[in-house]
Chains A and B, each alone.
Chain A
């Protein structure tokens, strides 16, 4: 009995200290003088541009990584090629590698003396580099969500669809995709959260030019550390936090549906 309470309060306390208190403090500091300073801070053109840039990068990176994630998951689970073990391990690389290292690696590839230096368009310190860095760090999530579900559902339903006359594409669209749809949705939300919040890799390759290549996370850091604009930093942080909370809500909305539909029954 006591053990159970200890466990419960221990877990809650830990969450409170590590997670809730810092986030709550940011909200409190942002809104301690009402809505007005918050609104003023985030309607500043540089902040608006940073938000726009972050959303643009996210809206491109997430669909690309979703499509790649599904195809890659199918390749890993359904096609037993010798190279797939390697692919499976490589997919985890972005989770293991520090984002700063990712940024430096991109500079080595696209920078002076790199393999892909001298492309007809600018990569480093502009939009493509920010996008590449974001795609790199948010790549594993859809694959990681989809692979175990594909393993679990097995090939029976797909084979059944084939014997009933469905082409591979029809089987994918009508059988495989619906069976993994919640895993994909969950992966999309995680990919989105990671893309919105990426700082390290982007800060290395973006150049961090205000109103140009500055994403929202970079804006927060810049406002706080260089401009001594605490209200601006807090307000932009709150904006990021709200975006994160929105994606988290999306995620939890997906979960109960999965259970009530009875999809998981044997």
Chain B
């Protein structure tokens, strides 16, 4: 195990940030800590980095107990939400910082920094100051800086949170490729389920300071352990006691034994996907997700009466 948090609890005054959390992260994996704000995911990351001390519990990094170890000695690279660039240093000096602190030979520093700037596609921008970079460039600089001392684990706090949608998508893909290349154990915090599903090998879903489920993306989506995970990972309809994903709602123009009548309220076309918002005759609202071809074939119109059926649904005991 590259990282292990064992029964970690942390309070800030009355607020319970982490409540008996245990998480294991495999070497070389890319793990997401996913949860709404206040779920404790950032606190867990900071506890792993040594930036917060847990009240109880233990942290192990590469098999060694690190609970009371100072952040300097943990061998972790940390990328902060707002990148925390050293504003008075150039990009090059920022990346070189961790190596200079370790008093590595000058030639080695030069070679390593140049190689990293290349890797994060910032070669040629080394003389700029962070204020002269775009958000995405600053993010990549922060990544290069964290990778420079060759950390055993890389921790990223909401790495794409402060970027606009297009840059986010680009950087996400780029980070995935980088991880495949560098193979450093990586943990990132996100509140965006799509980001977690797309990037991570394993996802830790957190809520109110507790771990709800730990699973690979597909298992998490298909086989959520409870209602929170079901509703947080992907869109969901709640029909009485049952939970149904929009793509598991089937629409028919004619009733059959198992269908229920519903009226179309709104049709939203999102490129390839069409979302149909419906009100059932018992007053329950739900949305169905269809491909564009399916929707075109049915010739749906707002106000139309259709017949719906859940092809797949789940119930959870409270």
State whether A265 touches B145 (Cβ < 8 A). no
* A178, B97: Cα distance in complex, Å: 14
The segment from A70-78, A90-98, A102-110, A155-163 that touches chain B is A155-163
Q: Is A244 in the interface zone, CB < 8 Å from B? A: no
Chain A residues whose CB sits within 8 angstroms of the CB of B76 once the complex forms:
163
Q: Is B209 in the interface zone, CB < 8 Å from A? A: no
Known interface pairs A164-B97, A164-B98; A159-B71 also in contact (CB < 8 Å): yes
Contact partner, A265, options B84, B102, B129, B142, Cβ 8 Å: B129
Chain B residues whose CB sits within 8 angstroms of the CB of A161 once the complex forms:
86, 97, 101
State whether A164 touches B149 (Cβ < 8 A). yes
Q: Is A100 in the interface zone, CB < 8 Å from B? A: no
The segment from A111-119, A165-173, A203-211 that touches chain B is A165-173
- CB-CB contacts of A234-266 with B at 8 A, as 1s and 0s? 000000000000000000000000000111111
Residues facing A in B83-105 (CB within 8 A) are 84-88, 97-98, 101-102
Cβ-Cβ contact count across A and B, 8 Å cutoff: 75
- CB-CB contacts of B248-281 with A at 8 A, as 1s and 0s? 0000000000000000000000000000000000
State whether A165 touches B98 (Cβ < 8 A). yes
State whether B146 touches A163 (Cβ < 8 A). yes
Least CB distance, B53 to chain A, in whole angstroms:
13
Interface band, chain A: 20 to 34
Known interface pairs A160-B86, A162-B51; A263-B101 also in contact (CB < 8 Å): no
- CB-CB contacts of B283-296 with A at 8 A, as 1s and 0s? 00000000000000
State whether B80 touches A159 (Cβ < 8 A). yes
Q: Is B82 in the interface zone, CB < 8 Å from A? A: yes
Known interface pairs A262-B131, A263-B131; A156-B101 also in contact (CB < 8 Å): no
Determine the residue in chain A with the shortest Cβ distance to B82. A156
Least CB distance, A6 to chain B, in whole angstroms:
38
Determine the residue in chain B with the shortest Cβ distance to A179. B88
State whether B51 touches A262 (Cβ < 8 A). no
State whether B72 touches A160 (Cβ < 8 A). no
Q: Is A175 in the interface zone, CB < 8 Å from B? A: yes
* A165, B104: Cα distance in complex, Å: 13
State whether B131 touches A167 (Cβ < 8 A). no
* A165, B96: Cα distance in complex, Å: 12
Q: Is B40 in the interface zone, CB < 8 Å from A? A: no
Least CB distance, B93 to chain A, in whole angstroms:
10
Chain B residues whose CB sits within 8 angstroms of the CB of A174 once the complex forms:
97
Chain A residues whose CB sits within 8 angstroms of the CB of B50 once the complex forms:
162-163
State whether B80 touches A175 (Cβ < 8 A). no
Chain A residues whose CB sits within 8 angstroms of the CB of B102 once the complex forms:
165
Chain A residues whose CB sits within 8 angstroms of the CB of B84 once the complex forms:
156-157, 159-160
Chain A residues whose CB sits within 8 angstroms of the CB of B149 once the complex forms:
164-165
* A127, B242: Cα distance in complex, Å: 86
Known interface pairs A262-B132, A265-B87, A265-B132; A162-B80 also in contact (CB < 8 Å): no
* A163, B145: Cα distance in complex, Å: 11
Chain B residues whose CB sits within 8 angstroms of the CB of A167 once the complex forms:
72
Contact partner, B101, options A170, A261, A262, A265, Cβ 8 Å: A170
State whether A164 touches B131 (Cβ < 8 A). no
Least CB distance, B36 to chain A, in whole angstroms:
23
State whether A159 touches B51 (Cβ < 8 A). yes
- CB-CB contacts of B55-85 with A at 8 A, as 1s and 0s? 0000000000000001110101110101011
Q: Is B49 in the interface zone, CB < 8 Å from A? A: yes
Chain A residues whose CB sits within 8 angstroms of the CB of B51 once the complex forms:
159, 162-163
Chain B residues whose CB sits within 8 angstroms of the CB of A166 once the complex forms:
72, 97, 101
Most buried by A among B51, B87, B98, B146: B87
Q: Is B224 in the interface zone, CB < 8 Å from A? A: no
* A264, B87: Cα distance in complex, Å: 8
Chain A residues whose CB sits within 8 angstroms of the CB of B70 once the complex forms:
162
Known interface pairs A156-B82, A164-B101; A263-B87 also in contact (CB < 8 Å): yes
Contact partner, A164, options B82, B130, B132, B145, Cβ 8 Å: B145
Given A161-B97, A164-B77, A179-B88, 18 more pairs with CB closer than 8 A = A156-B84, A159-B51, A159-B80, A160-B80, A160-B84, A160-B86, A160-B142, A161-B86, A161-B101, A163-B51, A164-B97, A164-B145, A165-B98, A261-B88, A262-B129, A262-B132, A263-B87, A265-B87
Question: Lowest 4 A-B CB distances belong to which pairs?
Answer: A265-B131, A156-B84, A164-B98, A163-B78
Point out residues on A near B: beta carbons under 8 Å: 156-157, 159-167, 170, 174-175, 178-179, 261-266
Task: Pull 18 A–B residue pairs with CB atoms less than 8 Å apart, ordered by A.
Answer: A156-B82, A156-B84, A159-B71, A160-B145, A162-B51, A162-B70, A162-B72, A164-B77, A164-B97, A164-B98, A165-B98, A165-B102, A165-B149, A174-B97, A263-B87, A263-B88, A265-B129, A265-B131
